[in-house]
Amino acid sequence: TSCNVAVVGATGAVGETMLKVLAERKFPIGRLHVLASERSAGEKLEFGGKTIVVEDLAKFDPSGVDIALFSAGGSVSKEYAPKFAAAGVVVIDNSSAFRYDDDVPLVVSEVNPEAARNRPRGIIANPNCSTMQMLVALAPIHRKAKIERINVATYQSVSGTGRRALEELGKQTAALLNFQQAKAEVYPVQIAFNVIPHGGDFTDNGYTTEEMKLVWETRKILGDDSIGVNATVVRVPVFYGHSEAVHIETRDKLSAADARALLETAPGVEVVDEPVNGGYPTPVTHASGQDPVFVGRIREDISHPRGLSLWVVSDNIRKGAATNAVQLAELVWNER
Ligand code: A2P
């Protein structure tokens, strides 16, 4: 039988890719509803060669829907996900609204798929894009050698901020190349030809919310509150694909060669690691438009006896959001 699906936020950067990934992976869709705000109700979208009309979320009756993929921001999820769940829909939510609730599983499909089965509220949370790619790469290492501490600096693309941020990078770049002023509207300062050490909001401990997500989500997904995570989130002028310089300390010594061997067979991971020009993944050469998490620059930390360094790159809109959400939908549907 086929699954009735709703995509909430279907006109956004992630929602659009959710539709693309559902089609690519031939998800067994029965009826498909694409939902957004009343601003875009009536607009037409394309799905698998057919045209579908965007419906207004506020006027939508979710009964009869089996699975809903939400990516319309935290406040929309907070209001509508419980309503959908009450109508019997399994909600897979890409916002951070429910990620830290004890009765909502937070699931990376390659890392803790079993957690998706226990969903008392009918909601499964999709992790933050930066946590997602980091843990696809680190979970196999953690299982083998127990990670005690993670130091990570991210190099995050603008697509993670949404469609308006993609436009802002394009417009600022064009303006500056034409000797005009760059207007900063989405980001607090110019993003074109710049880097910004700021994602989300500042919190009391000096870290930003995007940095704290890496701490909280890593512990919840790996089921280990003892892991120390120290993150610096940086926005860079890249359209698609987040990169991360990840430095870990393990309880048991793991050589770079052993880590490489482990990652070569890890699900969802592709190792690109040759010490030559271009022998490493980048957003543009490897990740953009692709599903795997690419790992390179695997080396032993010369400053720590049980330290390893890696470079982790993935398409934040695909594996970091849409692809994992669709993988979770597959999991739910296959186990019904
Ligand atoms: P809309 O296009 O109607 O504004 P992005 O993250 O790329 O900016 O996309 C956000 C997505 O969330 C869009 O599809 C947007 O729809 C949707 N959205 C935003 N606010 C609401 C709302 N109040 N109700 C329903 N959908 C919303």
Tokens of 219: 């512990």
DSSP-derived secondary structure letter, 283: I
Q: How far apart are CA 157 and CA 176, in angstroms?
A: 19
pLDDT of residue 17: 97
Residues 6+ apart with CB under 8 A from 282: 241, 243, 313
pLDDT of residue 71: 98
Query: Which secondary structure element, helix H or strand E, spans residue 334, and what is its range?
Result: helix 323-334
**Residue spans in the chain of domains classed CATH 3.30.360.10:** 131-316
pLDDT of residue 217: 98
CATH 3.40.50.720 fits 3-127+321-334, yes or no: yes
Determine the residue of 54, 76, 94, 129 to mutate for testing ligand 1's pocket, defined as the one with the most ligand atoms within 8 A of the Cβ atom.
76
For ligand 1, is residue 37 a contact (CB within 6 Å)?
Answer: yes
Ligand 1 atom index nearest CA of 14: 7
Distance between terminal CA atoms of the chain?
11
Query: Which secondary structure element, helix H or strand E, spans residue 62, and what is its range?
Result: none
**Positive or negative CA dihedral for 46, 50, 53, 57?**
negative
β-sheet bridge partners, residue 270: 294
**Residue spans in the chain of domains classed CATH 3.40.50.720:** 3-127+321-334
Predicted TM-score (pTM) of the model is 0.97
Ligand 1 atom index nearest CA of 57: 25
Query: Which residue owns the Cα nearest ligand 1 atom 25?
Result: 37
Query: Which residue owns the Cα nearest ligand 1 atom 12?
Result: 72
Clarify whether 129 is annotated catalytic: yes
DSSP string, 167-225: HHHHHHHHHHHTT-PPP-SSSSS--TT--B---S-B-TTS-BHHHHHHHHHHHHHHT-T
pLDDT of residue 5: 98
For ligand 1, is residue 13 a contact (CB within 6 Å)?
Answer: yes
List alpha helices for 13-105, DSSP H: 13-24, 74-86
At position 6, the amino acid (one-letter code) is: A
The SS3 assignment for 65 reads coil
Buried residues in 102-129 as b, exposed as e (16+ CB within 10 A): eebbbbbbbbbeebbeebeebbbbbbbb
Q: How far apart are CA 327 and CA 322, in angstroms?
A: 9
Query: Which residue owns the Cα nearest ligand 1 atom 27?
Result: 37
Tens-binned pLDDT, residue by residue, of the chain (336 aa): 899 999 999 999 999 999 999 999 999 999 999 999 999 999 999 998 999 999 999 999 999 999 999 999 999 999 999 999 999 999 999 999 999 999 999 999 999 999 999 999 999 999 999 999 999 999 999 999 999 999 999 999 999 999 999 999 999 999 999 999 999 999 999 999 999 999 999 999 999 999 999 999 999 999 999 999 999 999 999 999 999 999 999 999 999 999 999 999 999 999 999 999 999 999 999 999 999 999 999 999 999 999 999 999 999 999 999 999 999 999 999 999
Q: How far apart are CA 279 and CA 273, in angstroms?
A: 6
pLDDT of residue 149: 98
- Which residue in the block uniquely carries the two structure tokens 């790619």? 133
DSSP-derived secondary structure letter, 285: I
3-class SS string, 313-328: EECCCHHHHHHHHHHH
**Residue 166's closest CA among 316, 326, 324?**
316
**Residue 166's closest CA among 136, 186, 148?**
186
- Which residue in the block uniquely carries the two structure tokens 């843990």? 135
pLDDT of residue 244: 99
CB atoms within 10 A of CB 173: 15
In the set 33, 142, 242, 286, the catalytic residue is 242
In the set 3, 129, 142, 286, the catalytic residue is 129
Q: Are 38 and 14 in contact (CB under 8 A)?
A: no
- Please state the ipTM of this predicted complex: 0.98
- Which residue in the block uniquely carries the two structure tokens 């997904």? 221
Determine the residue of 16, 37, 80 to mutate for testing ligand 1's pocket, defined as the one with the most ligand atoms within 8 A of the Cβ atom.
37
Q: How far apart are CA 336 and CA 334, in angstroms?
A: 6
Q: 131-316: which CATH architecture?
A: 2-Layer Sandwich (3.30)
